[in-house]
Every structure is written in structure tokens, then in C-alpha cells.
Amino acid sequence: MAAEIIHSSTQDTYDPVDAVFALHRGGKMEIRATVPVRDADDLSLAYTPGVAKVCTAIAERPELVNDYTWKSNVVAVVTDGTAVLGLGDIGPEASLPVMEGKAILFKQFGGVDAVPIALACTGVDEIVETVVRLAPSFGGVNLEDISAPRCFEIERRLQEALDIPIFHDDQHGTAIVSTAALWNAAKVTGREIGSLRAVISGAGAAGIAIAKMLVAAGIGDVAVCDRRGVVYEGRGDLTDVKAEIAAGTNRTGLKGSLADALAGADVFIGVSGGTVPEDVVATMAEGCFIFAMANPNPEIHPEVAHRYAAVVATGRSDFPNQINNVLAFPGIFAGALQVRATRITEGMKLAAAKALAAVVADELTPQKVIPSPFDERVAPAVTKAVAEAARREGVARL
């Protein structure tokens, strides 16, 4: 039955003359040489016999691999296809167009080479073992579209096993950009982030990471809500990850539904989908901020949000203040790779958020609390901030 459903869906959606399919035909990326191979002399340098000298040197001094191969500037974009965009568990093959897209964004916005790797396994042990075995070829690993709660353990175990940056963008990229936007939203309205009470709808990868970063950034209070309502200490059905976030958030001890939590709240951050009724939005504090980031349908449509909020952001490109991870991950990896960092620390993430916010600090309006993804100042600013933070935190090798 499942095969029949998939076949029917494919027949309904596949249109070879559609502009989207036309753009994707043959894939969106390729590999090109950076040195010429025009004659026998070139060949003898790029390949045998000359290459043997480089191989022998690396065998004797393994750190030279970063100087004489592409390793120090290449990232593996790894997925198992279980949480792809808003499509869910569509499998590794169907995830490849997204992973290719991620790879070209690395290159376009950060100057970083990236290789899409879609894995035909979903077990935590299998994924960790596979990535560890692949790691000698890469300077960093960007985990992508892996469903929660497995994504948390996979990232943690890879960080413990490897001495290269491991970064789950669905978590930390979203958190970095959201935090930067919130800092600027507070600034443009004459407030301090420490005076704000935020409510996050969604306790998956992004929601948990945003909550942690907002706490680190000094938010007044933040409560996370899942399908059952507010995540609070002592709630009997919490996973280990949710129990940890409950212990570090919700200082006022809120319980109940999302609607209960939003009454009087200063900030709504949506990373869950669904719809928040307008009568619930109306109970938020005057001059509130609404970041409704579900795609393609925000939890609160901007038209509704603007009736109540001083600042509105979405995940969409056709509205102002797009919370887009491309503002973060290219510069984060570029900075980490530049200094050959052994990991990406919480301090490096906060530095990225501060740098991102600072790009438009002198241009702030309620319609511009975050830069455009095409703002050419973004990647250099984030790259520099991350590299400097890596050196401060003692994880840089250069």
C-alpha cells in the first residue's frame, strides 16, 4: 500500500517541464579541479609519481593533511532523511536535493566546499559509526534533517569521538539567527532581552536549541511547549532532553497549554507548525515580538501578527525579517575551519549571533532586525567572530 501511495504522489507532483525540475536536472553541483592537467608534467605532479611525496609526508606528519589536501576546507553534509524540511521522513534519496542545496549555499555564502552524504541507516550507533569512519576526509560535519530526539545523541557522541567541528544546523543555526533577531528586536523597541518572557512552540531540535541559547543570552524567562503543553520540571512524560530543558527554563513555573503560556508573553517563537488562534495571540503583551517560523505556513500569519506585535519575523523569503539559517552556518564553518577548530563551542555560537546582529545594528527598523541572506557583510562578520571566539576558548589549532 505504501508503495502505491508513493507512486501516486510522484505521478501527481513530477512535471519535467516545471522550472523547478528543470533547474534540478542533473543535480545542482559538480567537482572541479583547482590545478591544470594539461600534459605529462602536470600529470606527474598532480598524480603519480609526484603525489607519493605528499602521501609519504602526511604519513609521517598527519597534520600536513590540512595543508596539502582539501580536508581543511571541506564539510560533510550528513543526513538520514528522517526530518527533511516540512516533508518529514522521506528517506535518503529524496533528501539529496536538499543536501545538494545546502552544499551550494556553503560555497556561495561561505566559500566552503561541502559534500552531500545521505545515509541508508537511521540507528544512532550506525550513524555515529559511519560518520566516524568517514571523518578523515573532512574538516567538519554538518548534520542535517535528522529527527529528534536522536539528533541530540548523534551530535553529542560525534563531538566526543572526533576532533573536528560537528554542528547540527537544524538546532544551532536556527538558534543563532533567532537570538540575533531577538537582540535587535529588543534594541529597536528600546527594551533589554533580560526583561522579556518568551514562549517557544516546539520542543524538537530547533526549539530546544533556541531555548538554551536564549538562556545563555540572558533572556528574562523562556518556556518551551510541546504537543502536551508547557514543558516543566516534574511533568511525568518528559524525555531526558526535555527534562534537561525543563530544569533550565520556565523559572515562573508555568503549566498548562501553549495558550496559557502565551497570556502576557513578550515573545512567541514558533518552530512547530500548526496554527495559533488570533484570540490567543491577542492575549500577548502589548508591543510583543512574534517569530513564526514554520514553512510554508507560519504558526501566526504575518497579517494577524502585525495587529498585535511590534516586530514580526517568519521563515519565509517573501516577508521582512526572514529567520534563515544561511545567515549562520556558512560563516560558522568558515570561521571554525579557518583556525582548524576542534569543535564549535557555545561561546562560538553566541559570538556568531552577536556578529550577525551587529551587521544591521545601525540600520534597525521593526522591518529589519536581521540582515538579508544576500547581504555580503554577513559571512565575513560571522567568520571573523567565530574564529576569534575559537581562539579565546582554546579550541583553535591556528
Q: Which residues are annotated as catalytic?
A: 47, 102
- CA distances from residue 317 to 290, 293, 296, 313 in whole angstroms, order as listed: 16, 11, 10, 10
Whether the Cβ atoms of residue 118 and residue 92 lie closer than 8 Å to each other = yes
Which residue in 87, 57, 78, 80 sits closest to 69, CA to CA? Answer: 57
Span between the terminal Cα atoms of the chain, in Å: 56
What is residue 140's three-state secondary structure?
strand
Place of cell 503583551: 285
Half-sphere exposure of 204 (CA within 13 A, CB side): 19
C-beta neighbour count of 80 within 10 angstroms: 28
What is residue 79's three-state secondary structure?
strand
Which residue in 208, 165, 214 sits closest to 194, CA to CA? Answer: 214
| CA 186 – CA 204 distance, rounded (Å) | 25
What is residue 397's three-state secondary structure?
coil
Place of cell 560533510: 76
Half-sphere exposure of 215 (CA within 13 A, CB side): 19
By CB neighbour count within 10 A (0-12 exposed, 13-18 middle, 19+ buried), where does 171 fall? buried
Q: In what order do the strands lie in the sheet with 267-270?
A: 229-230, 221-226, 197-201, 267-270, 288-292, 309-314
**DSSP β-ladder status, 74-79 and 166-168:** unpaired
Give residue 302's identity as a one-letter amino acid code. P
Helices (H), the chain: 2-13, 19-24, 40-46, 51-60, 65-68, 92-110, 124-134, 150-161, 169-188, 205-217, 240-248, 258-262, 278-281, 302-305, 329-338, 346-359, 378-392
